[in-house]
Amino acid sequence: MKILGISAHYHDSAAALVIDGVPVFAVQEERLSRSKGDAAFPLAAIESCLEHGGLQPEELDAVVFYERPMLKFDRILTCALRAFPRSWRAFPKAMKNSLGEKVWMRGIISSHLGVPGRKILFTEHHQAHAAAAFLTAPTRRAAILTADGVGEWATLAIGRGERHAGGATTIDMLREIRFPHSLGMLYSTFTAYLGFAVNEGEYKVMGLASYGQPSMAAEVRRLIRRTADGAFTLDLDYFEFHTTAERSYSSRFVELFGPPRNPYQPIDLETAEGRRFADCAASVQRVLEDTLVDIARTLRQETGFPDLCLGGGVALNGVANARILAESGFERVFVPPAPGDAGCALGCALYADRIHFGNPDRDVPDHPFWGPAVDGRELAQVAGEDGQPMEEIEDGVLIEQTADDLAAGLVIGWMDGAMEFGPRALGHRSILAAPHSAGMRDRLNRDIKYREEFRPFAPVIPIEMASRYFDLPPGGARLARFMSGVFPVKPEWRSRLAAVTHVDGTARVQTLERDMAPRLYALLEAYGQRSGVPVLLNTSFNVAGEPLVNRAVEGYSTFRRCGIDVLVAGQTRVMKCASQQARLKEEAQCSRNAAGSSAG
Ligand SMILES: [Fe+2]
């Protein structure tokens, strides 16, 4: 059975193809359109899925959309009516932003793909999140917890899933919390208040939190009240996201926490104002964690299951995930590589396969590499046409050479095989560097990623060696498989892993099994032989404002524009010469000076 899943029209659209119960391809639209967070109907992603599967649209058995547009319409209309007349200006905008074409989704899918309306199915948004989390995890029975900003009405849902080998699958959602009461919206409100872009800047809040103290946690708790049944409600006097598209927090919120941050002013932690913002971030982070831990603990007791599958955008919060693992009583916590809305494309297709059609259970391969494959020959051709020195080398030699480069302090653009599905680079579209010095972190922030210094870089390490360098609780190595947990770096290693150790002594470590990315694993071993420490800094292969690179030509373009020294794609290796590096540095300095003088 051939099933296409689609998520679209909110942020980060995606498409996924499932054949005979197993994913064969999945990609976010942004990676193909090159527009970060592209929310458009994912035509390029769909085309890519069909091409990869060698299918014509009419050969699909079903096309599944990741939420029920009419339910979402109902929520927006209901909220607008409740808030009238305050909402009268927001309503058309909300309709346009959140719905637009969505209500007519069956017709749109049918006309774009030429498939009959009867083949088009819908799942609920949190069913898609739940399926993306549970059906991709190597477990047969698990509790399920999904949390995000909002889908149709649900913002948090709990349930349980069971898979019977070769037989039926059940996913029962037990309870849900409904809009406007939302942990995701609480966090996003602070994201906006702290001057970051909502839906993109949440991880910056998490990074900033490490610099602060949760000294305002009591104030945050006035915004979110726990209810007797273990759920919560937001005190809506502090929020405006449910009534207007202009601002997510109210004047009472500002009275409580002080003036919001001007997004154009850098955060200076030397000032009282800067520390207040860091404390705000730490406080909302603490309350989010406490709330999730409580809900997860209750779910553990209720289901009796030792495994928990986490889904929804909130599951990108690695600090909260690590606390859930440590404190809720679950023995294993699984977070898929794409827990957010893009992952719903895969989730809704799997849900349709197992639940709607009742197809027999299948194991889903336990990796994130469902995207287009990189072609080293394409890199050779582009670099050749550009007159750039390059070579095509046999793999064993290439790994040794790259390990030498890393040991010499060079920064490597590393492209290998099929692209990651989801927001994290997990070894196929990564920038790699030596993890030892703070100077390397600063260099990457300054010359390559062009981003705020309070955002940490992540380390990658062979799974067998992880507990030597990182304090992983039982189940921690699994949570770290897709970089879904933040754990302490052992104190004695912090100074030697300075580029990947956050200010609070933690790291968002990736534990790598050889089978998942054999070439990166071999590179870690080769680097370990040289440095004595088999750890590399692994950050996503992109510059600020751009999506992860997909094809070799995009990797090459990024390589030419920023301070990456060596680019590897497949068997092809391209090296930047010293004069090009010097010129790039000069240009970067000029643009910094220009930015400095225009700001002054
Ligand atoms: Fe969602």
pLDDT score for 450: 78
> Could you tell me the distance, in angstroms and rounded to a whole number, from the CA of residue 181 to the centre of ligand 1?
14
For residue 260, cis peptide bond before it (omega within 30 degrees of 0)? no
What pLDDT was estimated at residue 560?
94
Q: What pLDDT, on the 0 to 100 scale, is given for residue 244?
A: 74
Q: What share of the chain is helix, strand, coil (3-state, %, to 5)?
A: 45, 20, 35
Q: How confident is the model at residue 596 (pLDDT cuts 50, 70, 90)?
A: very low
> What separation in Å is there between the alpha carbon of 339 and the centre of ligand 1?
8
Among 16-30, 68-82, 302-316, name the one with the lowest average pLDDT: 68-82
User: In 10 A of CB 298, how many CB atoms?
Assistant: 16
CA 194 – ligand 1 centroid, Å: 22
Check pLDDT > 70 for residue 149: yes
Q: What is the 107 CA–ligand 1 centroid distance (Å)?
A: 23
Determine the Cα–Cα distance for residues 495 and 526; give it in Å rounded to an integer.
22
Please report the pLDDT score of residue 2 as a whole number: 98
Q: Residue 150 Cα, ligand 1 centroid: separation in angstroms?
A: 6
Q: How far is the CA of 547 from the centre of ligand 1 (A)?
A: 20
Indicate the pLDDT class of residue 580, thresholds 50, 70 and 90.
low
Nearest CA-CA partner of 566 in 416, 378, 432: 432
CA of 223 to the centre of ligand 1 (A): 22
Tell me which of 69 and 14 has the higher pLDDT. 14
Looking at the DSSP bridge assignments, the partners of residue 142 are 161
Task: Give residue 532 CA to ligand 1 midpoint distance, Å.
Answer: 42
Rounded to the nearest angstrom, the distance between the alpha carbon of 125 and the centre of ligand 1 is 6
Cα 144 to ligand 1 centre (Å): 14
Q: Quick check: 594 pLDDT over 60?
A: no
Task: Provide mean pLDDT across the span 210-239.
Answer: 94
Residue 241, CA atoms < 13 Å, CB-side half-sphere: 24
What letter represents residue 257's amino acid?
F
Quickly state the pLDDT bin for 599 (edges 50, 70, 90). very low
pLDDT (0 to 100) of residue 598 = 39
What burial class does residue 227 get, using C-beta atoms within 10 Å of its C-beta: 0-12 exposed, 13-18 middle, 19+ buried? Answer: exposed
CA 215–ligand 1 middle distance (angstroms):
30
Distance 444 CA to ligand 1 centre (A): 31
- Rounded to the nearest angstrom, the distance between the alpha carbon of 341 and the centre of ligand 1 is 5
- Amino acid code (one letter) for 192: A
Protein residues within 5 Å, CB atom, of ion ligand 1: 148, 341
pLDDT for position 331: 97
Distance in Å, CA 158 to ligand 1 centroid: 14
Q: Cα of 552 to ligand 1 centre, how many Å?
A: 31
Q: Rounded CA gap, 437 and 496, in Å? A: 7
Residue 279 to residues 197, 199, 216, Cα–Cα distance (Å): 19, 21, 7
120 CA to centre of ligand 1 in angstroms: 20
For residue 92, the model assigns a pLDDT of 52
Average pLDDT over residues 337-359: 98
pLDDT 10s digits, 155-185: 999 999 999 988 999 999 999 999 999 999 9
CA of 598 to the centre of ligand 1 (A): 40
CA atoms 500, 501, 506, 511: torsion sign: positive
Q: How far is the CA of 103 from the centre of ligand 1 (A)?
A: 17
Residue 352: phi and psi, rounded to 5, are -60, -40
DSSP 8-state class, residue 121: E
Distance 584 CA to ligand 1 centre (A): 40
pLDDT at 372: 98
DSSP letter (8 states) at residue 355? I
Spacing, Cα 152 to ligand 1 middle (Å): 9
Question: Tell me, what amino acid is at 561?
Answer: R
The pLDDT, as a whole number, for residue 58 is 94
Give the tens place of pLDDT for each residue, 443-461: 998 888 877 666 679 999 9
For the chain, counts of helices (H) and of strands (E): 21, 24
- pLDDT-derived band at 105 (thresholds 50, 70, 90) equals confident
pLDDT value at residue 246:
76
What pLDDT is stored for residue 504 in this prediction?
Answer: 93
DSSP state of 12: S
Q: Rounded to the nearest whole angstrom, what is the distance from the C-alpha of residue 9 to the centroid of ligand 1?
A: 12
Sign of the dihedral defined by the CA atoms of residues 587, 588, 592, 598, in that order: positive
How far is the centre of ligand 1, averaged over its atoms, from the C-alpha of 90 (Å)?
A: 21
Give me ligand 1 centre to Cα 133, in Å: 12
Q: What is the mean pLDDT of the chain?
A: 91
- Å from CA of 4 to ligand 1 middle: 19
**pLDDT at site 245:** 72
Say yes or no to pLDDT of 582 above 70.
no
pLDDT given at position 600: 29
How confident is the model over 479-529, as pLDDT tens digits?
999 999 999 999 999 999 999 999 999 999 999 999 999 999 999 999 999
Query: 57 C-alpha to center of ligand 1: Å?
Result: 27
Could you give the percent of the chain with pLDDT greater than 90? 79
Specify the pLDDT at position 447: 85
* Distance between CA atoms of residues 480 and 265, nearest Å: 34
In three-state secondary structure terms, 572 is strand
Q: 29 CA distance to ligand 1 centroid (A)?
A: 16
pTM metric for this prediction: 0.92
How remote is the CA of residue 276 from the centroid of ligand 1, in Å? Answer: 30
Query: How far away, in angstroms, is 151 Cα from ligand 1 center?
Result: 5
Tens digit of each residue's pLDDT (9 = 90 or more) over 16-74: 999 999 999 999 999 999 999 999 999 999 999 999 999 999 999 999 999 877 666 66
pLDDT at 87 over 70: no
Mean predicted confidence (pLDDT) in 540-565:
95
CA of 160 to the centre of ligand 1 (A): 18
Mean pLDDT of 348-376: 97
**Separation of 314 CA from ligand 1 center, angstroms?**
9
Distance from residue 156's CA to the centre of ligand 1 (Å): 9
Cα 365 to middle of ligand 1, angstroms: 23
